[in-house]
């Protein structure tokens, strides 16, 4: 099993050097939409922070696998979207893609936005400051 890191986790990691504890054999990766969110943050950064943020983001993109939005993920996404909409519990569109990617892979999500992701049935959500056990991850 693996863990997808969402942008809130990675942004906080950049700002505060927070850590996520994982099992020693746990894989970590990001969804393609998370890569887009991180790159967007580079473009939006002020001139004083841009170089540092870009270096961090490019490092993350080099060292972590990036999972695409596949047809299998699209099917999971469509089902989740319909189910959450019917229940009146929709989450943000990018978070929905991250959640669908994780579920399609059989993985969990590490996030500082647990309130949003906890609405997704069957998704295991890690809070990086929640005392998870195992190896610490930092890119």
Per-residue pLDDT of the chain (139 residues), as tens digits, is 899 999 999 988 888 865 556 667 779 999 999 999 999 999 999 999 899 999 999 999 999 999 999 999 999 999 999 999 999 999 999 999 999 999 999 999 999 999 999 999 999 999 876 644 333 444 4
Report how far residue 24's alpha carbon sits from residue 133's, in angstroms, rounded to the nearest whole number. Answer: 9
| pLDDT for position 84 | 97
* 67 CB-side CA count, 13 A: 26
Answer yes or no: are the C-beta atoms of 70 and 104 closer than 8 Å: yes
Cα 66 from chain centroid (whole Å)? 11
| pLDDT for position 131 | 43
| pLDDT for position 44 | 95
Q: Smallest Cα–Cα separation from 4: which of 73, 66, 57?
A: 66
């Amino acid at each position: 099993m693996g863990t997808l890191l969402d942008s809130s986790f990675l942004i906080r990691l950049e700002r505060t050097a927070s850590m996520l504890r994982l099992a020693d054999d746990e894989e970590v990766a990001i969804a393609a939409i998370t890569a887009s969110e991180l790159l967007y943050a580079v473009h939006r950064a002020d001139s004083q922070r841009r170089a540092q943020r870009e270096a961090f983001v490019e490092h993350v993109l080099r060292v972590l696998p990036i999972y695409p939005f596949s047809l299998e993920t699209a099917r999971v996404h469509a089902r989740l979207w319909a189910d959450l909409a019917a229940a009146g519990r929709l989450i943000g569109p990018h978070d929905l893609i991250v959640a669908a990617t994780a579920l399609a892979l059989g993985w969990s999500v590490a996030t500082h936005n647990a309130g949003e992701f906890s609405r997704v049935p069957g998704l295991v959500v890690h809070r990086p400051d929640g005392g998870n056990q195992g190896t610490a991850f930092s890119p």
